[in-house]
């Protein structure tokens, strides 16, 4: 059984260690765990790992955050993966740093990547894992904060939170979305 795990982010070295690219960082961690590497494919970088008889197709769209839906749709079709076996991994300003929130559906909440995916897929009913990046910025500074680098305190704690995300995604692929939400939400 195949699953598509999409980490949202922006391509390019200038975005590599920014809060907005946590989705890329999560799928990079899954690939490292499975000793896999990414290859440039159509509309993104792709890797494949196996976990308990499941195949996880990992995608880092090259379309930039605001056009992520095009890459998601292409890889769903190319790999013949239904929507219920897709997990979108993204940053969330409304959650404290490192907090994970997994949902089966929901609005984009002002997140342009999620909004574009919803537009392209024609639905907001798709699994997503939101990684809290906090909201420690002054009014009018949201873009600088989201596209900013992690603080030294965040860097010191991010590996443990990335491991927790990998465990949640492996759980999604092995025991399903409902049980995964019950176990991992608010951790």
Residues forming the active site: 20
162 in Cβ contact with 30 (< 8 Å): no
Please state at what angle helix 152-175 crosses helix 177-184, rounded to 10 degrees: 150
Alpha carbon 67 to its chain centroid, in Å, reads 14
130 in Cβ contact with 146 (< 8 Å): no
Residue 185, helix vs strand vs coil: coil
CA distances from 121 to 7, 59, 68, 117, 124 (A): 17, 17, 11, 6, 8
């Amino acid at each position: 059984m195949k699953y598509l795990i999409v980490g949202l982010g922006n391509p390019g070295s200038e975005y590599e260690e920014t809060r907005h690219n946590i989705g890329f960082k999560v799928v990079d961690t899954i690939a490292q765990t499975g000793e896999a590497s990414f290859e440039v494919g159509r509309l993104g970088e792709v890797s494949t790992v196996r976990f308990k008889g499941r195949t996880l197709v990992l995608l880092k769209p090259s379309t930039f955050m605001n056009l992520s839906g095009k890459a998601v749709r292409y890889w769903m079709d190319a790999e013949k993966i239904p929507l219920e076996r897709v997990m979108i991994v993204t940053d969330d300003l409304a959650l404290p740093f490192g907090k994970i929130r997994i949902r089966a559906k929901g609005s984009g909440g002002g997140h342009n990547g999620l909004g574009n995916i919803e537009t392209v897929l024609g639905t907001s009913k798709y699994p997503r894992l939101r990684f809290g990046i906090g909201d420690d910025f002054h009014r009018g500074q949201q873009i600088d904060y989201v596209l900013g680098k992690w603080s030294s305190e965040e860097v010191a704690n991010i590996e443990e939170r990335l491991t927790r995300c990998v465990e949640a995604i492996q759980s999604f692929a092995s025991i399903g979305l409902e049980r995964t939400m019950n176990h991992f939400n608010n951790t």
